[in-house]
A and B are shown apart, each in its own frame.
Chain A
Amino acid sequence: MEKFKLHFKRISKHPFFGFVLFGLALSLIPIFNNFLPVSFVDSAAKTLIYFIVALGFALLIGYGGLASLGTSSFIAIGTFAIYTVMDLLNMPFALAILIGVIVALMVGVIFGFVSLRIEGMYLAIVTLGLSEIMIELFKNFDKFTGGVSGTTFSSFRLLGQSLSTNQTFFIIIIAVVIAMILTYNLINSPTGRALLAAKNSDSAARAMGISVIKYRLIAFMVSTVYAVIGGMFYMAYIKFSMGSTWGLAVSLNILAAVVVGGSKSIWGVFIGTFIIFGLDLMVFQQIPFLSQGAFANFSFVISGVLIIVVVMYYPSGLIGLFKKMTFKLKNKLAKKSKGERKS
């Protein structure tokens, strides 16, 4: 028993323990599916999908120090890639991932290389242009994207079996946990450290022999791949995608989620995604007064204000604020107990 306790203690210290526990906690949602309102389950799934996308984006913004406005286009590429491969060509999911990732990497390399060669700031401009082009392309490639009216996905198949919505939810949770672990590893790898060095001082990093453009391009590529995968799960779960919905607003909200939560921490990104997407989908959209008419985009105002406040006063995001507060609280308690002991 004692041995087991010790063993458990060692496991619980492992960084992945939290991620797996988080996944197990999330799987309560599909298990108790019948007792929960449908809208809640759907919004939880959407939030998790955006969380995958946001994790990739966090690497770009928190470690690369770069902003991109093309995220939504890459999500859209994911949705249409899975539709084309699985519905039109009747091929397995693995091939869909492969093709989606290849397309995203190709597009990303073209736009990323040109802009990052000049200066990090140009990436946002060029990707804004990319999202403009993409909306037009989605309209014209109506065979693969359904054009203006969008496409409906028939069913998500894995290993030859078509999965129900609930089963897809489990797959999404597994994907979220894998994405968290991969991101953690990437952050703590030489690549992550090189990125951080380049973010803090471009010239110093270059002097230390780090190829700044290479690592920045890697960060951008990783964020596009995460976005494409997120898009695929979006199509697998929501089963509908329309080119024109993937505009600037989605990209900006993902940016807001990452910045508000804290772009350097995986849990921070989750908090941000939950505040920006989760609260909006689960609470605001359910209130008829707030979901229709003039107030429909009111959540944008909240996201915008949060972005500005966080960038101005709390550069490490809400998670940084929490950490600071708990640190202060601990200090206070420690002082108190010290004082008591003295007297």
Chain B
Amino acid sequence: MYIIELIINSILQSGPLALATFAIVLIFRTSFTTNFAQGMIGTVAAFITTYILMPSPDITGNVPSPTFLTYLIAISVGIIVSFIISMLVDIVIFRNSKYITPVGKQIVTMGIVLIITGLIPFFFGISDRSLPRIGANLEGTFIDTILLSGVEGLRDIGIFVKYHMVLGFLISFIIIGTLFIMLKYTRWGLGVRATASNENVASMMGINTRFITAMSWAIAGGLGALAAILISSNKGTFGNVTVYFMVAIQVQAFFAAILGGFSTFHGPIIGIILLTFFKNLFTSYLNPWGNTVLYLFVLLIVLIKPLGLFGKKIAKKV
């Protein structure tokens, strides 16, 4: 029974993480670089959301309790700002530097991490901020009834899950599902797949690769923002938004992408579910060595399968 609970909770937990992973893979496929600023851009969104809910942070332990509508507006503003920042990164920086190497692109994203780290205390103050749990204000709506019955139904058979985690998972599931459908059936999705396989040929075939890349960056920024908000909500309530809180998440997302293989979209998603499961397993049995064993374990798998569990070998012409 314990192992079933662990599996279910791991899957629930991996929902928001999958958003961050998907964002990283999306940028990797369209811009051929790993975006280290992903987490930081998401952190900005979390900070903006808390700022709208409570402009000056309360250090005594009070957490804002917004209504559903204000919370939704605050989250949307945060996501939109991240969406724009991320898009600007592509339009302003990468579009103007055509001959930059992949490692050069990585370095640029690291520079963005530094800029955001320096600017956050400037705009939002130096104390940690609090983001209320999602779903704390849904009482009486039909979503609440469905969720509550689900949570209680599981509790009756002896599996304990948390309400806000189920909600976070559902939101992530819907969004990732939509994105996969978009990848498969829309013009944008076709463009992304074409750009990912060969950027030059795609642009010759009449695909506006500039637009595709910019939109991918923007969507990745928005996904990172939503991931940051959901994860901070999963973490707790008081003081859950700090400058560096997404760094650990980003490491997990990167390792999940390595584990699943960067060359497919579904691989990393399965990777993050496996990674979260093993993380929970290792941290409950091998504390305080959980994370160390986990990452070494991933490296061991990558040593055996260098392209990841679901990676495909892409032959390159010299």
Contacts and interface: CB of A to CB of B under 8 A. Distances in A.
Contacts of B108: 307-308, 311-312
Interface stretch (A174-182, A229-237, A253-261): A253-261
A69 interface: yes
Contacts of B113: 248, 252, 304
Given A121-B33, A125-B258, A304-B111, A132 B247 contact: yes
A121 B117 contact: no
| Best-surrounded residue of B101, B118, B247, B295 (most CB of chain A within 10 A) | B118
Contact of B118 (A67, A137, A297): A297
Contact of A295 (B110, B122, B254, B302): B122
Contacts, number: 146
B295 A312 contact: no
| Best-surrounded residue of A110, A114, A305 (most CB of chain B within 10 A) | A114
Q: Is the interface of B mostly helix, strand, loop or mixed?
A: helix
Interface residues of A, number: 55
A128 interface: yes
A1 interface: no
Interface string B210-253: 00000000000000000000000000000000001001101100
A66 B101 CA distance: 11
Interface stretch (B64-72, B92-100, B140-148): B92-100
A297 B125 CA distance: 12
A296 B126 contact: yes
Interface in A276-311: 293-308, 311
A315 interface: yes
B201 interface: no
Contact of A140 (B111, B126, B288): B288
B136 interface: no
A253 B106 contact: no
Given A67-B110, A305-B111, A124 B36 contact: yes
Nearest to A66: B103
Interface of B: 33-34, 36, 93, 96-97, 100-104, 106-108, 110-119, 121-122, 125-126, 244, 247-248, 250-251, 254-255, 258, 288-289, 291-292, 295-296, 299, 302-303, 306-307, 318
Top 3 closest pairs, chain A to chain B, by CB: A304-B114, A300-B118, A307-B111
Interface of A: 61, 65-67, 69, 110-111, 113-114, 117-118, 120-122, 124-126, 128-130, 132-133, 136-137, 139-140, 203-204, 247-249, 252-253, 255-256, 259, 293-308, 311-312, 315
